[in-house]
Amino acid sequence: MRIDVISIFPDYLAALDLSLIGKARAAGLLDLAVHDLRDFTTDRHRTVDDTPYGGGAGMVMKPEPWAQALTAVLDVGPDADADDAPLSEDAVPGSGVAADRPVLVIPSPAGEVFRQATAHELAEADHLVFACGRYEGIDERVAEWAADRFAVRPLSIGDYVLNGGEVATLAMIEAIVRLIPGVIGNPGSLTEESHADGLLEYPMYTKPASWRGRDVPDVLLSGDHGRIARWRREEQLARTAARRPDLLPPVC
Ligand SMILES: COc1ccc(Cn2ccc3ccc(-c4cc(N)[nH]n4)cc32)cc1
């Protein structure tokens, strides 16, 4: 997988050099590059923003630097040798993730909510491009213009407002890249975590068996794997009902 990130704060993405993602890059499981949007401006002040048409507070990101940057990442990414053949249909119809069309993720408070299912979908893509906006956002015409060459996906990581797209991009890249085979040492853990089966994960314990007067549930020390599995499922359902009733499967 190839990932390109475009931002006016490229240092914000330095965390992508660390830990599992850093190791995946070193192992050749992931090809990732971060680009400074200001490198795609042409004026002396490297201007990326201007006042909003129609008035209103704040500034809006100018479209041309984005068009220059997005064109550049298409020319260096895995699509670079793509001939001018018409873009293929979606690999999964309606998914927006086509066999050879790069996905342009635009973090936005106005985007579709990014969920674990979205992470699985985007982990199948060959090329992801993240456009990290700042100010009040990016001129709307960029997403319209980009739709000819990208599957454009405005995505939100939750119903709260950040100052820009970088934190959302870090969260989404981490959620996506950990699903790539070989990135996580123990892939079995991917199937037992929250949201993997639609429910919240069960409580976890490790040594010591008794800690400050609090004991690990006896069932987990019983060695009865069937009983342990049943207890864990009951705990998942109880925890999900208490904290995220919206995730509970419908009662038939
Ligand atoms: C018009 O209202 C606003 C619009 C944008 C902003 C700040 N901002 C600028 C770019 C950008 C990209 C993503 C996000 C974001 C994503 C999530 N889930 N929360 N916040 C926020 C962003 C403030 C206000």
In a domain, 21, yes or no: yes
Q: How far apart are CA 68 and CA 205, in angstroms?
A: 51
Q: What is the residue whose two structure tokens read 């609090």?
A: 214
Q: Is the CB of 130 inside a 6 Å radius of any atom of ligand 1?
A: no
> What spacing in Å lies between the alpha carbon of 59 and ligand 1's midpoint?
12
Ligand-binding site membership of 128 (annotated) = no
Q: 70 with 138, same domain? A: yes
Q: Whose CA is nearest to atom 17 of ligand 1?
A: 109
Give how many domains the chain has, as a whole number.
Answer: 2
Which pLDDT score is estimated for 77? 67
> What spacing in Å lies between the alpha carbon of 170 and ligand 1's midpoint?
14
- What is the number of other CB atoms lying within 10 angstroms of the CB of residue 240? 19
**Residuewise pLDDT in 10s, the chain (252 residues):** 999 999 999 999 999 999 999 999 999 999 999 999 999 999 999 999 999 999 999 999 999 999 999 999 998 767 776 554 444 444 444 445 545 799 999 999 999 999 999 999 999 999 999 999 999 999 999 999 999 999 999 999 999 999 999 999 999 999 999 999 999 988 777 777 788 789 999 999 999 999 999 999 999 999 999 999 999 999 999 999 999 999 998 888
Q: Is the CB of 108 inside a 6 Å radius of any atom of ligand 1?
A: yes
Which pLDDT score is estimated for 130? 98
Q: How far apart are CA 183 and CA 247, in angstroms?
A: 27
Which pLDDT score is estimated for 88? 44
Q: Whose CA is nearest to atom 7 of ligand 1?
A: 163
In a domain, 39, yes or no: yes
Q: How far apart are CA 243 and CA 232, in angstroms?
A: 16
The answer to whether residues 247 and 198 touch, using CB atoms and an 8 Å cutoff, is yes
Which pLDDT score is estimated for 126? 97
Which one-letter amino acid corresponds to residue 217? Answer: P
Residue 6 phi/psi, 5° resolution? -115, 130
Q: 130 with 218, same domain? A: no
Which pLDDT score is estimated for 192? 74
Q: 43 with 154, same domain? A: yes
**CATH code for the domain in which residue 219 is found:** 1.10.1270.20
In a domain, 230, yes or no: yes
Which pLDDT score is estimated for 94? 46
Q: 144 with 196, same domain? A: no
Range of the domain at 198: 192-247
> What spacing in Å lies between the alpha carbon of 194 and ligand 1's midpoint?
26
Q: 156 with 174, same domain? A: yes
